[in-house]
Structure 1
Amino acid sequence: MTTEATTPRPYQSYVYAYPHKTAYRPLPDRPPLRELWAGQSRDALSLYLHIPFCEVRCGFCNLFTRVGAPDELTGRYLDALDRQATAVRDALGDDEPVRFAAAAFGGGTPTFLTAAELERLCDIAEKRMGADLRAVPLSVETSPSTATPDRLAVLADRGTTRLSIGVQSFVDTEARAAVRPQRRADVEAALGHIRTAGVPVLNIDLIYGIDGQTPATWRTSLDAAIAWQPEELYLYPLYVRPLTGLGRLGAAADAAWDEQRLRLYRQGRDHLLEHGYEQVSMRMFRRTDAPRDLGEGPVDHACQTDGMIGLGCGARSYTPSLHYSFDYAVDMREIRTIIDAYTTTEDFSRAEVGRPITPDEARRRHLLQSVLQAEGMPAADYRDRFGTDPYEDFRAELERFAARGWLDTGAPATLLRLSPEGLAHSDALGPELFSDSVRAAMAAYEQK
């Protein structure tokens, strides 16, 4: 437990969704989806389709994905996705209008699918779920080896507004150190294909803290990315997590690595700010002249409000009272087992695994996912939604953050906003807002 005078280690947990799936548990009553969505607002839902396949698995990756898809597995997976979409759309009913305001394809690597399979994926979103992909922001993740002209042409034609490519490093030796076999020439070729496809927003992911990375090589990657003038750039700190490739190699965090990552973060932040980008969060930077109405990042990352439909065995769905999904794993054998079970499932009418969202958890979720944005959280938004004051609900936590210099003392009194140092410590600040029950559930989770 930290005191007000103590600053915790800066890299503890990347909070992209709360509660994390390691806090989910099998739902004993397996509630019908129709009951879960009864009476819920369905006029501005987010739609997320998850494709759990990659050509290789990077050493740092703990995403729900497997390498390869033998024996026509992608076709069987899309068959199951179609069945699930049909069941979910039926559960939503037609008593009230069902409208999707944003969509995303993630993974894994959605562009692992062939061009024809991507057409089918879009058809599932449109014909089964009723999402108008050409009328809403659509974000799709890709990789250097799968960003081929035929696949990109399908995505551009079907309305994709944002393509996010995981480059991680333009330095080949660093990519290999992160157990990510790729060549810079192939990365540059993929970026050229994306620009030729004409998708309005390009995002490039980079990672800092790789073994052997220096300020000079980090600058090389930053400048190489900036040369493509991406509308967005994400700078991710490297994490070594259990059951990943790097985790099995025995790599572990220490104070020296923390300091290295903080130095590289600040270098990257300052470099992007000097080159026409603005900071949106600890990780996200947007070109100041980039379009603002095409969505930003996967819908999971900045979804403070509830109302998300996730399709696929690694996707979450959110209602105000329950977050639900399927089983979760990191180990490749476990993931293969879960995917195989998903492809043979016929009945998708019930929620299988999840976590109830109490009023306290809803407050925590809103606060942490709002305050981690550089623009901060208007206190009035919180009060309007919950009828209480965030400064009273989280007095101890906010006083602790203030004592560490993590809150912006120059912000208007009506705005709860992090200081630059607070943003730099987002991965320490976020976990301190977790409830005791979520902490206990995450701690009790058996890694698999």
Structure 2
Amino acid sequence: MNAMPTATAATTGAVAIPTAAPRPTTPAPDPGSPYQSYVYAYPHKTAYRPLPDRPALRDLWRTEPKDALSLYLHIPFCEVRCGFCNLFTRIGAPGELTTRYLDALDRQATAVRDALGDDGPIRFATAAFGGGTPTFLTAGELDRLCDIAERRMGADLRAIPLSVEASPATATADRLAVLASRGTTRLSLGVQSFVDEEAKAAVRPQRRADVEAALARIRDARIPVLNIDLIYGIDGQTAASWRTSLDAALRWEPEELYLYPLYVRPRTGLEGRTAVGDPAWDEQRLRLYGQGRDHLLAHGYRQVSMRMFRRADAAPQGPDDHACQTDGMIGLGCGARSYTAALHYSFDYAVDMREIRGIIDEYTATRDFGHAVIGRRVDADEARRRHLLQSLLQADGMLVADYRARFGADPLTDFAAEIDRFTARGWLDGPARTTGLLKLSADGLAHSDALGPELFSPQVRAAMAAYEPK
């Protein structure tokens, strides 16, 4: 479970948003469990549907600002599939599948770059390789992946932040050497637990000795930022064993640490094996979250979001003027999403391994990448929700003035009912009308996975509920 680096909350490159119609009030759901949903993008991909008009990418991007884009390349392969994982990925790549996949990625990149046109400046401000496990690819294939980003898309990987996800088994010296030489500024390692019994319980076959060896290789490669992912809430995990993992990670002095609560989702390896919905499990995860947060804060880390902690003395990765709330994103690969102001689009999504294999096979056979096929329109109301969500879930919060400047409206009016609920629960830090800042309290950050879903629109919530998992 690796994570994209958090984008800055700046509002440069803002896109003009049409005047919103009267906003429907979102019904107040029962907050119930503090672990409703991990909100890392909005609208959620399960709200996407086939686009009957299959709009041409050239038309979608014609009027979009393209001077601070984010580039994401998705590699849907892993050596194993962890029990908690519902990412779009398959185990292994028989035959020449990785070659066929990179061939398709090259064709897609060519089509997308053509669709972006040449009538204005095109610049990528940040890049990431995710998955799956990008380092499943060989060193030579990783070189080709970087070539696709640079030569086809025009991204200057040595001049912008580049984040790459890896697993301990695939973080080999030759792969890391390629990534370091091509400008990687951040390497995110999915460890999850340094306790072998917990890794086994999470259906993640690995040994601590192998994890430690991988971390040594990463440090030897001198990639500026190391991120380590850890998970709390694993069956059999205790405060003592959680402390063991935290301390083991801290010995490597990672610039970033992500602490994830365990989720058990449909069609994953842990489904039916963990007591989902058990209040005792919620209490355990909240308790371990608090323990982990306090431990990292005491060791010189600052909290960036519920999950993300950054070492206070860590040097910045480099210039990053991409704002996730306002700037576009180009996703390449069959599990990637792309964002314009008015449409979010992707390819089909699945969790079941047979379905995933079929989607990958279809992707590798595709010749025409010039149209969006699956996605969701983003109207003025959804744009406001997305901006609030992606800003409020960061520890620094959202300046009310930034929202007003972009939308010509007051978030305290637009979301009065939701903000009143959050205030009553103690999830907000101080009166926003006085401070000019909508910011989560410590308790609000702890409940981010309950707060976020309450900002989903009724339409998105209905679409997600109607989605048939596959």
Q: TM-score range by the shorter chain?
A: over 0.9
Maintained 8 Å contact 1:138/1:295? no
Structure 2 residue 36 is matched with structure 1 residue 12 = yes
Partner of 1:431: 453
Partner of 2:247: 223
Q: 1:210 to 1:156 in 2, by over 3 A?
A: same
Partner of 1:441: 463
Partner of 1:182: 206
* Helix, strand or coil at the partner of 1:247: coil
Partner of 1:200: 224
Partner of 2:120: 96
Report the CA distance between 1:273 and its aligned residue.
Answer: 0.2
Report the CA distance between 1:306 and its aligned residue.
Answer: 3.4
Maintained 8 Å contact 1:139/1:295? no
CA distance in 1, matches of 2:221, 2:97: 28
Report the CA distance between 1:303 and its aligned residue.
Answer: 2.0
CA distance in 2, matches of 1:157, 1:247: 41
Where structure 1 has 5 or more consecutive residues not aligned to the other structure, the ranges are none
* Helix, strand or coil at the partner of 1:167: strand
* Helix, strand or coil at the partner of 2:88: coil
Structure 2 residue 113 is matched with structure 1 residue 113 = no
Maintained 8 Å contact 2:235/2:274? no
Report the CA distance between 1:346 and its aligned residue.
Answer: 0.3
Q: 1:410 to 1:278 in 2, by over 3 A?
A: farther
Partner of 1:25: 49
The counterpart of 1:377, out of the listed 370, 391, 398, is 398
Letter in 2 for 1:340: D
Partner of 1:261: 285
Q: 1:347 to 1:142 in 2, by over 3 A?
A: same
CA distance in 2, matches of 1:2, 1:27: 28
Letter in 1 for 2:168: P
CA distance in 1, matches of 2:146, 2:76: 16
Partner of 1:308: 329
Quick one: percent identity of the two aligned structures?
78
CA distance in 1, matches of 2:277, 2:212: 31
* Helix, strand or coil at the partner of 1:145: helix
Report the CA distance between 1:404 and its aligned residue.
Answer: 0.2
Partner of 1:34: 58
Maintained 8 Å contact 1:143/1:165? yes
Letter in 2 for 1:431: P
CA distance in 1, matches of 2:277, 2:160: 41
* Offset from partner CA, 1:291-347 (integer Å, 9 cap, x none): 224489xx9xx8222300000000000000000000000000000000000000000
CA distance in 2, matches of 1:72, 1:187: 29
Q: CA RMSD in A?
A: 1.5
Letter in 1 for 2:388: L
* Helix, strand or coil at the partner of 2:231: strand
* Helix, strand or coil at the partner of 1:282: coil
CA distance in 1, matches of 2:66, 2:215: 36
TM-score, with normalisation over the residues of structure 1? Answer: 0.97
Structure 2 residue 444 is matched with structure 1 residue 422 = yes
Maintained 8 Å contact 1:51/1:107? yes
TM-score, with normalisation over the residues of structure 2? Answer: 0.92
CA distance in 1, matches of 2:349, 2:212: 34
Partner of 2:374: 353
Partner of 1:147: 171
Report the CA distance between 1:393 and its aligned residue.
Answer: 0.2
Where structure 2 has 5 or more consecutive residues not aligned to the other structure, the ranges are 1-25
Maintained 8 Å contact 1:7/1:404? no
Maintained 8 Å contact 2:162/2:186? yes
Structure 2 residue 354 is matched with structure 1 residue 330 = no
* Helix, strand or coil at the partner of 2:302: strand
The counterpart of 1:276, out of the listed 289, 300, 316, is 300
Maintained 8 Å contact 2:173/2:217? yes
* Helix, strand or coil at the partner of 2:163: strand
Within a 5 Å distance, the mapping from 1:43-62 to structure 2 comes to 43-62=67-86
Q: 1:248 to 1:52 in 2, by over 3 A?
A: farther
* Helix, strand or coil at the partner of 1:398: helix
Q: 1:32 to 1:7 in 2, by over 3 A?
A: closer
Maintained 8 Å contact 2:65/2:327? no
CA distance in 2, matches of 1:185, 1:307: 41
Report the CA distance between 1:409 and its aligned residue.
Answer: 1.5
Structure 2 residue 262 is matched with structure 1 residue 241 = no
Maintained 8 Å contact 1:174/1:213? yes
Maintained 8 Å contact 2:77/2:134? yes
Q: What count of residue pairs does the alignment treat as equivalent?
A: 443
Structure 2 residue 92 is matched with structure 1 residue 71 = no
Maintained 8 Å contact 2:78/2:90? yes
Maintained 8 Å contact 2:27/2:458? no
Partner of 1:341: 362
* Helix, strand or coil at the partner of 1:159: coil
* Helix, strand or coil at the partner of 1:370: helix
Q: 1:260 to 1:295 in 2, by over 3 A?
A: farther
The counterpart of 1:409, out of the listed 430, 436, 452, is 430
CA distance in 1, matches of 2:116, 2:369: 13
CA distance in 1, matches of 2:319, 2:348: 28
CA distance in 2, matches of 1:386, 1:317: 22
* Helix, strand or coil at the partner of 2:156: coil
* Helix, strand or coil at the partner of 2:175: helix
* Offset from partner CA, 1:194-253 (integer Å, 9 cap, x none): 000000000000000000000000000000000000000000000000000001546423
The counterpart of 2:413, out of the listed 377, 392, 398, is 392
Q: Which moved more, 1:250-259 or 1:31-40?
A: 250-259
